[in-house]
Amino acid sequence: MSPTSSLPPMPYRRMGRSGLRLSALSLGSWLTFHDQVDGAGVREMMALAFDHGVNFFDNAEAYAHGQSEVVMGRALRELGWNRLHYVVSSKFYWGLESGGPPVNGSNTLNRKYLLQAVDGSLRRLGLDFLDLVYCHRPDPNTPVEETVWAMHDLIARGKALYWGTSEWSAAEIRQAWELAERHHLHKPVVEQPQYNLFHRRRVEVEYRRLIDELGLGLTVWSPLASGLLTGKYRQGIPAGSRGSLPQAEFLREALLDQRRNRAVDELGDLAAELGCSSAQLAIAWAAARGGVSSVILGASSVQQLRHNLGALQVLQRLDAAMLARIESLTEPASDLAP
């Protein structure tokens, strides 16, 4: 695929029914910032993304135990961009405390934790406010009303502009939305789910009514299935890859799945027809799906990010017939049944 200097303009999409517009491709930091790339490398990656239209940079309190926010914040200060021109998110649930799970400090969405956690993220990022804050997982031990009020108050106090969820069930999202509607509070307007050719049912089936009826936006993560869809894991776990990281051990069984790697081989044949890589085709597929506001890219190097941004060229060329061919390789229709 051509170098990024010849990419088409970045599309911008409303985040659901909100007025906030996000770049169709965005840059995330999970398992990469601080762990695989740091300092000048982070700054260079963010500058490359921004120069090609990326305006959304995703983070979380728990990524690299807070250090992902630290290195992103340092890069933002050094780059000196106008604050109006970029969007930063963070996510809360896991906490940062070490030495065992502390009471009120991890695995919770209670009011005390949320109101303190956002201040920590703002300090690490060096920002006055976050554009988006997500509840990183549902919390069965905190009343949803308490969590909704706390997220509303984060916005009312100017700590954040919008809030949403990550990996919540459709029923949990609807409950939170309806409670906020009933009490005239700020509603959850975006969900951040995993979405790729091997993980489709939640977005395409479970969330469909939320997208249609509530206008829920989606900022999706892992469009390459943690690198599986690049084809790099067909012969095992390469040294230096995401799958080789100690903290990514939980991914290895899926990365080495023989059936999925055979499907990746066939995906490579389709990519060759379009003159692109499997990775670019998989990213473009995710960005082409209805309801997706932004596809969050992860990259461990400037070169990898530059290559993945090439998906913009592929996105312009995907038609319904090619989308159907791609999907037939990776997800049997029965797996998407309600």
> pLDDT tens digits, residue range 227-263?
899 887 666 666 666 555 666 666 666 777 778 888 8
Is position 151 within any domain? yes
pTM of the model: 0.91
The stretches of the chain forming alpha helices (DSSP H) are: 40-51, 67-79, 111-125, 144-156, 170-182, 201, 208-209, 252-255, 258-274, 278-288, 302-309, 311-315, 320-330
Domain assignment present for residue 324? The answer is yes
| Cβ atoms of 298 and 31 closer than 8 Å | yes
Judge whether 155 lies within some domain: yes
Q: Which pLDDT score, from 0 to 100, does residue 248 have? A: 60
pLDDT score at 333? 39
**93 falls within a domain:** yes
Residue 238 within any structural domain of the chain: no
Contact between 91 and 166 under an 8 Å Cβ cutoff? The reply is: yes
Residue 102 has a pLDDT of 76
12, 63, 162, 207: which is the annotated catalytic residue? 63
pLDDT at 278: 96
Q: Is residue 133 part of a domain?
A: yes
Q: Is residue 39 included in any domain, yes or no?
A: yes
According to the model, what pLDDT value does residue 88 have?
98
Query: Left (φ > 0), alpha (ψ -120 to 50) or beta: where does 147 sit?
Result: alpha
What tokens appear for 66 in the block?
């807070």
pLDDT reported for residue 231: 82
pLDDT in the model for residue 259: 80
CA distances from 209 to 106, 119, 176, 183, 291 (A): 32, 34, 15, 22, 11
- What is the β-pairing status of strands 56-58 and 87-92? parallel
Enter the tokens of residue 212.
């249609």
CATH number for the domain that contains residue 310: 3.20.20.100
Domain containing residue 159: 4-225+257-330
Residue 42 lies in a domain: yes
Tell me how many domains the chain contains.
1
Please tell me the predicted confidence (pLDDT) of residue 226. 86
pLDDT at residue 334 in the model: 40
Q: For the chain, which ranges sit under pLDDT 70? A: 1-5, 98-101, 233-253, 331-338
Distance CA 195, CA 176 (A): 22
Q: Are 287 and 24 in contact (CB under 8 A)?
A: yes
pLDDT at 261: 83
For residue 338, the model assigns a pLDDT of 41
* Residue 134 among the catalytic residues: no
